[in-house]
Amino acid sequence: MAKLNPFDLYDVASLLSEEELMIRESVARFVDERAMPVIAKHFEEGSFPAELIPEIAEMGLLGSSLEGYGCAGLNSVSYGLICQELERCDSGLRSFVSVQSSLCMYPIYQFGSDEQKQRWLPGMAAGEIIGCFGLTESHGGSDPANIKTHAKRDGDDWVLNGSKMWITNGSIADIAVVWARTDDGIMGFVVEKDMPGFDAPAIKHKMSLRASVTSALYFDNVRVPEANRLPNVQGLKGPLSCLTQARYGITWGPIGSAIACLQEVLDYTSDRILFKRPLAANQAIQIRLADMARRITAAQLISLQLGRLKDAGRMQPTQVSLAKWNNVRMALDIARDCRDILGGSGITTEYQAIRHLLNLESVITYEGTETVHQLVLGRELTGINAF
């Protein structure tokens, strides 16, 4: 019998189309050749690898699921595979693409006017315009219905006041899709970086997602023209539908982190000799490695089926919650266990496990905390909203 691929035990590759396989391989090559060699340095320095943006754009990875406006028009499974390969390198790299694609380009594409789409989407697909998404506020991200940032109509403008917290790409963004309360409910505005009264300072001292920019956004009487309001959306369903898109990609990403960690400890435990034999020869180690492979396999099948449902137009937010909860928890546990198996070496960035472990502490919190996704599933099962 043919030897199984330890990172694809159920031959998920055989369920992918030629095009999906080709996309996965080309992103994997980019990650191995261009991103992996620089990522540990960026993580240590707390800088985002902006030098990779032109190649990421060239490969069609920005807004890859959108059609027209210079976007690749790929299916959802392809988008998932892109996220998986990028996160095999670092959650920060995947976060950049998730936010640009699902949280900034998607709302402009879905809720914007023709002029807004023409104005921003081609530049965003080319990586020349960077975007961010401002929903969370410091007083409680899990409860977005309680946002306080507000916009008041004044002639042809809206006057925006308030603040946002924990915004990926904020300080490097040219535009921010900002969700604000108005007299007619929550609306989305495209705020441009040079608008007077707008500031986006980076949040310092992060121990997680260090190779990603995270910022606060401040709005002090920012005048936003009516032409920058997204005309085709009103209410919380707007930002929540963007989050469903992004979370779908996030279900795939941590599979990449987990594979990177498992690959590293498989090499390490076969080379490291303790008590006169390879570490991998111990039952206690093999059980831990087997458990990692089991959980990765389950996550791969969950995300693939979720992607097929999405491409068939049948994916539901509760299914995304289950996948985000399962797959991020899987990767976080695996990264932690791999860190331990690496012993003292596991605490340095010479090995990947601790970087993935620290990154995944953000991934389990953002885009709906683990608890919030559990409560979504609980509501589905019981019909009772426990939020």
Ligand X SMILES: Cc1cc2nc3c(=O)[nH]c(=O)nc-3n(C[C@H](O)[C@H](O)[C@H](O)COP(=O)(O)OP(=O)(O)OC[C@H]3O[C@@H](n4cnc5c(N)ncnc54)[C@H](O)[C@@H]3O)c2cc1C
Annotation marks residue 350 as catalytic: no
CB 101 within 8 A of CB 253: no
Q: Report how far residue 245's alpha carbon sits from residue 242's, in angstroms, rounded to the nearest whole number.
A: 5
Q: Report how far residue 60's alpha carbon sits from residue 62's, in angstroms, rounded to the nearest whole number.
A: 6
Under rule CB under 6 A, residue 347 binds ligand X: no
| Interface stretch with ligand X, choices 112-120, 138-146, 295-303, 308-316 (CB under 6 A) | 138-146
Under rule CB under 6 A, residue 362 binds ligand X: yes
Under rule CB under 6 A, residue 48 binds ligand X: no
Alpha-carbon dihedral 67, 69, 70, 76, rounded to 10 degrees:
-20
Quote the least distance from Cβ 385 to ligand X, whole Å. Answer: 10
x/- site string to ligand X, residues 161 to 180, per CB under 6 A? Answer: -----xxx------------
Quote the least distance from Cβ 387 to ligand X, whole Å. Answer: 5
Under rule CB under 6 A, residue 142 binds ligand X: yes
Alpha carbon distances (Å) from 69 to 62, 73, 233: 11, 10, 21
Quote the least distance from Cβ 91 to ligand X, whole Å. Answer: 9
- Please name which of 220, 228, 48, 245 lies closest in space to residue 130, comparing C-alpha atoms: 48
Which residue is at the shortest CB distance from ligand X?
141
User: Of 130 and 209, which has the nearer Cβ to ligand X?
Assistant: 209
According to CB under 6 A, which one of 141, 162, 188, 346 is a site residue for ligand X?
141
CB 62 within 8 A of CB 94: no
User: Of 93 and 209, which has the nearer Cβ to ligand X?
Assistant: 209
x/- site string to ligand X, residues 81 to 100, per CB under 6 A? Answer: ------------------x-
According to CB under 6 A, which one of 49, 80, 134, 188 is a site residue for ligand X?
134
User: Of 129 and 296, which has the nearer Cβ to ligand X?
Assistant: 129
Alpha carbon distances (Å) from 232 to 66, 135, 192, 242: 17, 18, 19, 14
Under rule CB under 6 A, residue 146 binds ligand X: no
User: Which residues are the active-site residues?
Assistant: 367
Which residues contact ligand X (rule: CB under 6 A)? 99, 132-136, 140-142, 166-168, 209, 214, 362, 365-367, 369, 371-372, 387
